[in-house]
Amino acid sequence: MIGRTTSKKLPLLLTFAILTLWIVFEFTEFEFLYTKSQFQVEDFNSSLPSTAENCKCDTVNEDFCYVNPQNSSSIGMKFDCSLVGTLEFLNLLDEPESFLNTTETSRSVESLVFVSATSDSHLKYTLESYASIRRYYPTNKFIIYRLNVNVTPLSHFPDNENLEFRHFEASRYPDFVRNALTYSFKPLIISEVLKEYPMVWWNDAHFSMVEPTVVETVLNEVGSGKVPSSVVPVVGTDHSNFAVLHPELLKFFPSHSIQLQLEQRQMAASVIFVQRTNYSVKLLKWWVLCALTENCMSPPDARLSCKFHWNKFKRHASCFRFDQSILNQLLLNDFQDYRKYFIKEAHDAYETSY
C-alpha cells in the first residue's frame, strides 16, 4: 500500500519540480549557468560618443559624421575623407533628381533586378535559391556576383538570357574588403547595381522563396506608404538588436536608447528590397562608409558565431552580425520600431537552408 502511494506521488512530484525549474528560469537570471557574455549593457552605455568634430571634407559639402536623427547632439566618429571618391563612384553623393526620381514603369515588378553573390562553398545553395526565385519570376533580370570563385559557374545554371554573372571587383576598395567574412561586399554590390537599375532585390544564397507574389506584396506596401522605408529587410530573426551588437559600432552610429536595442527585434540582411530614393541613397551612404571602414564593419574581436542566452533579447550573444547589425542600427535609429519596415507576409514567403 505504501509503495503504491509513493509511486502515485512521484509523477506529481516530478511535475512540481519541472514547474518550479521553469519558474526559476523564466523569472530569474541564473547567470552562473551560462558562459559570460562578451559584452554587458554597461559596455554600450560607455561607448556613446558625446562630442562633435569637424565633420566636413574639403572636396565635398557633405557630412562624414553620422548624426542620430532622434538626438542632434549625438554625433558619431568621422569617416575618412579618402572615401569620398568611392561614394562618388557609387552615386551616393549629391545626385541629381533625375537619378533619384522613378516612374510608375520603373516601379513595376518587371523592373526589379534580383541580385546575389556566390563562392565555391556556396554554389550549391545559390543554385537552389536561384531556382526557387525563377519558379515565380522567370524573366526578371538576375545578377550573380562571384566572390573568390576560381571557375565560372555558368555551366551549372540553366540557360537564361536574363541571367548575368559578374566578378566582384574588390580591388577598387580597401584591402580588408577582400575578406568575404566581413560582409562588406553586400552594401557595395547593392549600391553598384542601384546605379543601373531603380529597384534591387538582394537574396542570400541560403534563402529560398517558397511562396508566390512576395515581390508584389512588398511593392504594394512600399508604394502605398504603409511601409515608409524604401529599404526593406524581408526576413526577420528571433533576437534583439542588442544581442548581436558591438560597442564599437555605436561610436560611428550612436543610439539614443540602449533600451530600444534591447526591445526591438532585429531583421535579417539575407533578403533586402531597395528602391532608389532620397532615403535609400542616404542610408546606403552610411552603410557603405561603414563597409569601407574596418573598425566599423569588422570591429576588433568581432565574431559571427553566436552563443545565445535563453533570453535572446536582454542578453548579449557574444557575436556581431556585421552588415546586418549595421543595417538594423540605421533603420532603427530612423524608424524606432522594426514593425514599420517588417512585412510578415513577405517574411513567411521564405525558408532557409541553415
Amino acid at 253: F
- Pick 128 or 149 by higher pLDDT: 128
Q: Which domains does the chain have, with CATH numbers?
A: 82-242+257-297+321-352 (3.90.550)
Average pLDDT over every residue of 126-140 = 97
**Model pTM score:** 0.86
Q: Which three cell numbers stand for residue 243?
A: 544581442
Q: Which residues pair with 116 in a beta bridge?
A: 144
Q: Which residues pair with 56 in a beta bridge?
A: 63
Phi–psi pair at 4, nearest 5 degrees? -65, -40
Average pLDDT over every residue of 173-195 = 96
Average pLDDT over every residue of 143-163 = 83
Rounded Cα gap, residues 49 and 38, in angstroms: 21
Average pLDDT over every residue of 91-120 = 79
Please report, for residues 63, 244, 315, the alpha-carbon distance to residue 44 in angstroms, rounded to integers and kept in the order given. Answer: 24, 12, 12
Residues 6+ apart with CB under 8 A from 63: 55, 56
Of 20-24, 109-113, 137-141, 282-286, which range is least confident? 20-24
Average pLDDT over every residue of 180-203 = 97
pLDDT at 300: 86
Cβ-contact 136, 157 below 8 angstroms:
no
In this predicted structure, the answer to whether residue 228 has a pLDDT above a threshold of 60 is yes
Q: What's the Rg (C-alpha) of the chain?
A: 23
Task: Return the residue matching grid coordinates 524606432.
Answer: 336
Rounded Cα gap, residues 35 and 104, in angstroms: 53
Give the confidence band of 195 by pLDDT, cuts at 50, 70, 90.
Answer: very high
Alpha carbon 352 to chain centroid distance? 15
pLDDT at 137: 98
- Percent of the chain scored above 70 by pLDDT? 80
Give the confidence band of 11 by pLDDT, cuts at 50, 70, 90.
Answer: low
Mean pLDDT of the chain, nearest integer: 86
Rounded Cα gap, residues 242 and 258, in angstroms: 8
pLDDT at 54: 86
Cβ-contact 323, 269 below 8 angstroms:
yes
